[in-house]
């Protein structure tokens, strides 16, 4: 996009954010948004998803390209943060009803199609103090320099920044490149549990499941959990048949990276 087109995009974004901008959260606000699950929150230095920080999420397998599970995870976290959310994507393919099903209603989401300027739009949004969070669907590379700019912008306003990594290749080496993100996550969809304990061959009809992997966290270690997908209030749950097992058998084993 030419320089004039990029300038027009950013000017339009400033206008839209200004229309929905609310007063910043008061000093002394919580420094993190907890998941509400001790197994996850205890693994994170701030006791949840840190505010004023950049976080990376990627899907797994075929979902690496579309990032559906990653988008739902980001939306479920931001469902618990007051204020509007700027959602930036390279294509106009955001499915708002799915976000609403995990607690992030359409009245809180400003969706911007930014083509090749996702990172610029994210950084611009993060500099507005009225936003609860900024989500950017990032195709291809996220360089260390670009991620540092996003991290600094998030620190300045206290907003939560999510970079959803999208790639046509599940093994894209760009997904493993260093970044300034405080946490890096990988989400893989798993089959639902069988509805009948005595009939394990019956196809699962229960709540959808994820393998949620924490690949990197400042002040923490990589870990992995099997969780049930967020409900209408954005709440995750440990898989019912794994929740009572000791850590070595399920929810706290080291992530496979």
Q: Are 188 and 69 in contact (CB under 8 A)?
A: yes
**Residue among 25, 46, 48 at smallest CA distance from 36:** 48
Counting residues of the chain whose pLDDT is more than 70, the rounded percentage is 79
Confidence of residue 220 (pLDDT cuts 50, 70, 90): confident
Phi, psi angles (nearest 5°) of residue 183: -130, 155
Identify the DSSP state of 233. T
Q: How far is it, in rounded angstroms, from Cα 186 to Cα 211?
A: 8
Q: Which domains does the chain have, with CATH numbers?
A: 3-18+35-196+206-249 (3.40.50.300)
- Which of residues 63 and 152 earns the better pLDDT score? 152
Q: Which pLDDT does position 5 carry in this prediction? A: 59
Phi-psi region of 55 (alpha: psi -120 to 50; beta: other; left: phi over 0): beta
Confidence of residue 15 (pLDDT cuts 50, 70, 90): low
Is residue 27 predicted with pLDDT exceeding 50?
no
Q: Are 179 and 142 in contact (CB under 8 A)?
A: yes
Token readout for 242 is 């794994």
Is residue 244 predicted with pLDDT exceeding 70?
no
Q: Which pLDDT does position 10 carry in this prediction? A: 60
Q: How far is it, in rounded angstroms, from Cα 122 to Cα 89?
A: 10
Q: How far is it, in rounded angstroms, from Cα 151 to Cα 96?
A: 26
- Which of residues 197 and 35 earns the better pLDDT score? 35
Is residue 243 predicted with pLDDT exceeding 80?
no
- Beta strands, E only, the chain: 32-33, 49-50, 53-58, 85-89, 109-113, 133-139, 160-166, 183-190, 209-217, 223-228, 237-238
Q: What is the pLDDT of residues 166-216, one digit of tens each?
A: 988 888 888 889 999 999 999 999 888 776 777 767 766 778 899 999 999
Q: What is the pLDDT of residues 67-126, one digit of tens each?
A: 999 999 999 999 999 999 999 999 888 999 999 999 999 999 999 998 789 999 999 999
How many CA atoms lie less than 13 Å away from 218 in the CB half-sphere?
13
Which residue's entry shows tokens 């206290």?
Answer: 158
pTM: 0.81
Give Cα 72 distance to the centre of its chain.
7
Identify the DSSP state of 204. P
């Amino acid at each position: 996009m030419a320089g004039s087109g990029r300038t027009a995009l950013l000017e339009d974004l400033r206008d839209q954010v200004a229309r929905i901008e609310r007063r910043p959260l008061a000093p002394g606000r919580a420094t993190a948004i907890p998941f509400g699950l001790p197994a996850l929150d205890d693994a994170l230095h701030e006791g949840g998803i840190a505010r004023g920080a950049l976080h990376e999420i990627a899907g797994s397998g075929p979902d690496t390209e579309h990032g559906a599970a990653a988008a739902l995870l980001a939306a479920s976290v931001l469902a618990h943060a007051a204020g509007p959310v700027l959602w930036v994507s390279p294509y106009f393919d955001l499915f708002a009803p799915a976000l609403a099903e995990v607690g992030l209603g359409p009245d809180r989401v400003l969706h911007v199609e930014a083509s090749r300027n996702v990172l610029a739009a994210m950084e611009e949004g993060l500099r507005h103090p009225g936003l609860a969070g900024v989500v950017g669907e990032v195709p291809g590379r996220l360089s260390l320099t670009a991620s540092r700019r996003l991290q600094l912008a998030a620190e300045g306003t206290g907003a939560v920044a999510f970079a959803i990594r999208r790639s046509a290749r599940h093994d894209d080496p760009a997904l493993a490149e260093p970044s300034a993100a405080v946490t890096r996550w990988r989400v893989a969809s798993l089959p639902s549990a069988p509805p009948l304990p005595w009939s394990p061959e019956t196809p699962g009809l229960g709540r959808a499941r994820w393998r949620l992997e924490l690949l990197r966290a400042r002040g923490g270690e990589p870990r992995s959990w099997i969780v049930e997908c967020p409900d209408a209030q954005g709440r995750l749950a440990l898989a019912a048949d794994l929740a009572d097992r000791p850590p070595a058998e399920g929810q706290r084993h080291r992530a496979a990276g």
